[in-house]
Every structure is written in C-alpha cells, then in structure tokens.
Amino acid sequence: MKILITGASGFIGRALFKRLKDNFPIGISFNSKNKMSEFLTVDLRDNSQVKELFEAHTPNLVFHLAALTSPQRNEENKVLATESNLLATKNIVQNLQAGSHLIFLSTDKVFDGSNSLPSEEDATNSEWIYGQLKIQAEELIRNTIKRHHILRLPIVHSMGDSNSGAFIDKALINLKTGKKVNIFNNVERCYIRTNELITFLVKLKNDMNYGTYHLGSEMMSYFERVRMLSAENAINWKKILIPCEGSASPMKQNLNTNKVKRIFNCSFS
C-alpha cells in the first residue's frame, strides 16, 4: 500500500503522518518554506504538479486533508477558497489511478443548522462558501471514486496542545496558567478530539464500508465543553472560566452520528 497525505504539515496531517510512519507515507505540504525533508512541496491547485506527483509515486490510498478551513478566510477570498477546497480536490480525483481509495475530510458546515439533527442522508444546505465548496467536493468524489470515505467533522481539538489553532486548545492553555477565559454558553456544537480522529482515520486504511459519515460528540455549548475537559485534566476552572452569551451562525450545529456508531461500533467523547 502506497499512502499519500495531503496537508501533512497541518495539525491533523502531522499527527496522522506520525501515526502511519511504519507505512512510510508520502506527505504533501503547500508551504514552500517548510524545511521538513520528509514532506514534498506540491501546489495541489496546479494540475500539472499533481499529475507529476501521482505519476512518480502512484499512491493507492490518499488521505486528502489539505483545505482552507477558516470560514472567515474563505468568505474574504472566495477565489482562493475555491482553488484550495474544490480545484485541489478535482486535480486529485482526476489523477488518482483506477481502484484507488480516497479518504476526504469534509465539515458539519455543509448544513445551515435548520435541521436539528441531520443525518448523512439529509439534504445539505450551507450559508458559508466553505460549506458550499465542501458540498461540491463531496459530490465530485461520490460521482467519480467508488472507494471513498467522506468524513464530516465538527470542531476538532486536542487537550491544550500549543501547536493547535483551535479555540478550545487556546482556552485550556490559558486556564492552565490561571488566566480568565470568557466563553459562549449559548452557542452549541459537536466536537472531536484529535487523537480519536487519527485513530479512526487509521482504522479506515483497509476498510471497505465506503460512504459518507458524521463524526463527533454529543452537541454541547463551548462553555460545557471546556468545563468538561478542564475537569478531566484537573484544571481549576471555577473562578476563571466565565460563561457569556454570544452570537454565531448557526447558534446550534448538530450531527447525527448513529451511522458511524452502527457500522464501526465506535463513538466520540
């Protein structure tokens, strides 16, 4: 098995690359300043570079993690968003050799929050360009690649890792040092821990239950999530974790995860 990981220099990509090191994966990074010799620098928006990459390495399993994930950055630069999230995926799909397996990270933002508990079979509708582009990428993969896993992810975080850009990790780091953290108690989301995501991704390496899956915990507020994680890590949060009300669109973003529980007999905390 020849494994290729796009977005290998990202937080999730690095963790997956490290976990699969015994399989000698090929890591792809867009960052031309990246000095890590084990990663190849490839602009996935350039079809000629992708074609050259796939002809040289002929991967038969691709973890496609590369994306422009910030909803705000996507809205501010829709051309870059389209190139990074959709064009890059088109180039990968176009150059995959027949019979290859593609594992693709999508998002809960393919839904607009109007459905209180959307399943994989429910209609998608996104108010964000990021979600709209992921919907198009999903459809492209379903219509082109037979052996695929599409994973719709909620908020991904670790347990206070300084290398993570997730708000929850930053909150935990601040709480550990005694700093006050104001956090919304009226905005609700689902979540998945990085280590649980990586374990599940590795599990899919030889899996043939192809299709689309929702991953994540039960929905809870940001405040509830950070409070729970603080208690797990013996962080004294009671006087410095401050609940407050805020606004977000949508206010509640849920995912029905019954399918992954049924087929893989797993859940996410």
pTM of the model: 0.96
User: The sheet that has 188-189: what strands, in order across it?
Assistant: 220-221, 188-189, 252-253
In the prediction, which pLDDT does 99 show? 96
Q: What is the pLDDT of residue 118?
A: 98
Q: What is the pLDDT of residue 71?
A: 87
| 71: phi then psi, degrees, rounded to nearest 5 | -55, -40
SS in 3 state form for 66-83?
Answer: CCCCCHHHHHHCHHHHHH
- pLDDT at position 158 is 96
What CA–CA distance (Å, rounded) separates 197 from 203?
10
pLDDT of residue 35: 54
Q: What is the pLDDT of residue 254?
A: 98
Going residue by residue through the chain, which has 269 residues, state the pLDDT in tens, using 9 for 90 and above.
999 999 999 999 999 999 999 999 999 998 655 555 689 999 999 999 999 999 999 999 999 999 998 889 999 999 999 999 999 999 999 999 999 999 999 999 999 999 999 999 999 999 999 999 999 999 999 999 999 999 999 999 999 999 898 999 999 999 999 999 999 999 999 999 999 999 999 999 999 999 999 999 999 999 999 999 999 999 999 999 999 999 999 999 999 999 999 999 999 99
Could you report the per-residue pLDDT of 163-200, keeping only the tens digit for each?
A: 898 999 999 999 999 999 999 999 999 999 999 999 99
**Cis peptide bond prior to 243, omega within 30° of 0:** no
What is the C-alpha to C-alpha distance for residues 192 and 195, in angstroms, rounded to an integer? Answer: 9
